[in-house]
Structure 1
């Protein structure tokens, strides 16, 4: 990709009604402030010295307060009213709809609360890092409790007559009702639990040649991550790879940065994390350049975003055709002599006794998510106290996965999410379900054999182009179910994910 030369201040064309142009001028300023906050967040997680936390909290709080003031102002309300009366076409009307939703949702939240919440998030993330490193949940508990209380206060300001948890959920998933998500969870539990039980009873042994080869240095794993990013066409002029405590992606269509982390004893952990984060970056990079700063140039939801990372991680990098083409590269970097089949089996092992969500296999991963969602909701709704979280976590790990962590660092402190917000874990499962549905639609459109051949040959551009055409380029034009129907021809369904895992793991485990 070439560095853009377009004037980003002229993306609202001259033929737009004056009222619409005025609205978009106001909103682009808000969007650019939020984009700047994202860079500060990335810096805090990747390069900022630990001593900078207090100042960074103040910086982010000031930006969030300014953004909130502009978004909820009378001037914004007047601009929205004028634009809505201007007789707009579908795309422009979608921009106005999304801005209106944000304006209405936030206007009753006090600016002082926005500022306090932002500053406390910044503080909580540093406390979480320290608590995890020291295996000390008690150190994190006061920050978690304060954050929970502030988030509940915000949710009650937005919608005092609705459950706070539901309001929080809609921050990341505005158009997929919580009730529909709960139906999907029930379908997945009904299909996955017996499948996992059958696999546990299987005699199949998918030992990893990469683990057996011994520890891998960080430089070695970074080299492997760089090699797969080159294969995936991750652009150097619009992205970068770094290391953080918890892998994440930050950015936009011009600057989409990813991080990973390295485990000496398991190089495939960093490999899959890198591909996963590339999937997130592919969505940002696929958004239309000429819509930067508009809702039409922003990603739709956490679940749709996660569908992109799960597609590239599971439907590309965990396939046998991928490893038939890539195993030589992996062997060169890791000093191993694995066959394509051994590598394919290694990245698809099912191990219910695994403690860590981001290291979990495709099947038990969703039991990790369900566990977190249940604790998340109970904590927000006051059914459990913050102090009870470690014990409840361990009980649910034993219930769902038959394993109990020895430390809180391997248990309830393993994820960064509760240092920032609640009701976010659902997106991971929504993403996996949607990824399978998108994969099926892509294969029907391009041809099953052609998709496998492209993956085998490492010619992955057509796959990214298909996703950009059917998902990325729309930004927030459509609500979630409309986007899914636009891309796949039908509403979101768990059917394709369950069919996919039944077929894949049935073959791998001789079912």
Structure 2
């Protein structure tokens, strides 16, 4: 099968170069000197030019036309390579390179504007990014919906209409739960100062508990935590606040969920079209089930309390109340710090603003006002500064429009996975209380993670759970968890 073999060999090199570009992005966020931003933008544009040329190479189309798969994995590879090639040939090379250059520069401009709470300093660059992404979406959409075209980069097979209908079903129960909890007494947050080195030591320890391989990974600091890479080189970042240690710890666990997904993909899929997580929604299901259903569960928090006292000394909360402290419900500005009750409401706000931006109902210069009005309506609070509002997330600076709804999809998927996991591992709570999530991790590896991109996103979740996808398991889990913790 020369056509198939030539195609797969060529694609392996393309995937390897894509990993190199990802490493440049990781370096930019963690170690790159600030004066290197302009040059890094040129480097990213140059490498994107090489990748775009490979993805649009006429030989790829010829090989695809003549390739006959021999097994399930090769069939799946052809599906994914076809999807990538079909998209790439619609986007002019100059546009792909300019997007890479501008988004590389934009990230640094956003970080400085966020630190200074200066929206005006960022808006011209954001307008560039939005205009370029609109142009790209128009090329891909072939006359269809621009936002739907962007969604395919992150969750193939879904649409804005699908997501909107899902959110419409979720919102009433989330709001009802939030309203019930509004009258419940909440515990005080942890009191004290928590040294950065001790936080990082504990985070590394718990990362290992949740299966993160330091032979194939590392932990660094970044403004916005993220995971990068696949296969044998997967890196995560976290952030530290010496007055609040749970942010560092749970950001680390969240990113470990992403990273162990990548580290667990079958070795034979590495540097292939199947060698990474199949979608951002499925990826987010892993980070959220690690962070929430496992690490924020009452049994695991009793174990965690002991480990925190070993690193920090006596805590202001005892082990039996610790689950309430970790899961305290509070309306706040920041998505990444939101409790499970509020989190999806933050995502819904961003999804609606993105649709308006790409549907023509909202322009970049009006984005801050629209954000603030929507936040006041949804959360009953007035945004006090841009870093707590429209400037809080890195995603728009790097052009990730269509990414945000996958966070909520990931929560829905995690709800389905958690229900199936607890069906198959009935003594899971006892294991978590002993600080041993290994049975859960093995279940996730075998049923989902090792398969990489073998199946489509929805098929991946349905294969793992043996059932249909629904928001009901997530909402039932939230009602039961917070009802038990706070008596509502």
Using structure 2 for the length normalisation, give the TM-score: 0.97
CA deviation string 1:136-195 (max 9, x = no partner): 010110110010000010111112311111101111011233322222111110110011
Q: Which residue of 1 aligns with 2:21?
A: 37
Q: Which residue of 1 aligns with 2:39?
A: 55
How far apart, in 2, do the equivalents of 1:134 and 1:294 lie? Answer: 42
CA deviation string 1:183-217 (max 9, x = no partner): 21111101100110111022x22223x2x2x2323
Question: Is 1:414 matched with 2:419?
Answer: no
CA deviation string 1:457-494 (max 9, x = no partner): 22222222211111112211111221121111122210
Q: Which residue of 1 aligns with 2:344?
A: 366
2:211 is matched with which residue: 233, 237, 240?
233
Map 1:345-384 → 2, pairs under 5 A = 345-352=324-331, 354-384=332-362
Contact 2:11/2:273, CA 8 A, preserved across alignment: no
Q: Which residue of 1 aligns with 2:221?
A: 243
Helix, strand or coil: the match of 1:280? helix
| RMSD (Å), alpha carbons | 1.2
1:342 is matched with which residue: 314, 321, 327?
321
How far apart, in 1, do the equivalents of 2:460 and 2:307 lie? Answer: 37
1:285 is matched with which residue: 256, 260, 263?
263
Helix, strand or coil: the match of 2:236? strand
How far apart, in 1, do the equivalents of 2:176 and 2:49 lie? Answer: 49
Helix, strand or coil: the match of 1:172? coil
Contact 1:295/1:475, CA 8 A, preserved across alignment: no
Contact 1:176/1:481, CA 8 A, preserved across alignment: no
How far apart, in 1, do the equivalents of 2:13 and 2:321 lie? Answer: 52
CA deviation string 1:343-393 (max 9, x = no partner): 2111101102x1111010001011111111111221222212212111111
Q: Which residue of 1 aligns with 2:135?
A: 153
How far apart, in 1, do the equivalents of 2:56 and 2:296 lie? Answer: 45
How far apart, in 1, do the equivalents of 2:162 and 2:352 lie? Answer: 16
Contact 2:147/2:160, CA 8 A, preserved across alignment: no
Map 1:250-399 → 2, pairs under 5 A = 250-337=228-315, 338-352=317-331, 354-399=332-377
Q: Which residue of 1 aligns with 2:441?
A: 464
How far apart, in 1, do the equivalents of 2:372 and 2:312 lie? Answer: 35
2:423 is matched with which residue: 440, 444, 448?
444
User: Structure 1: 5+ residue runs without aligned partners?
Assistant: 1-16
287-296 or 130-139: which moved more?
287-296
Deviation at 1:224, TM superposition (A): 2.1
Deviation at 1:87, TM superposition (A): 5.0
How far apart, in 2, do the equivalents of 1:238 and 1:218 lie? Answer: 24
How far apart, in 1, do the equivalents of 2:69 and 2:282 lie? Answer: 30
CA deviation string 1:304-342 (max 9, x = no partner): 000000000001110111022221111122223332222
1:428 is matched with which residue: 386, 399, 407?
407
How far apart, in 1, do the equivalents of 2:273 and 2:448 lie? Answer: 14
Contact 1:221/1:270, CA 8 A, preserved across alignment: yes
Question: Is 1:498 matched with 2:479?
Answer: no
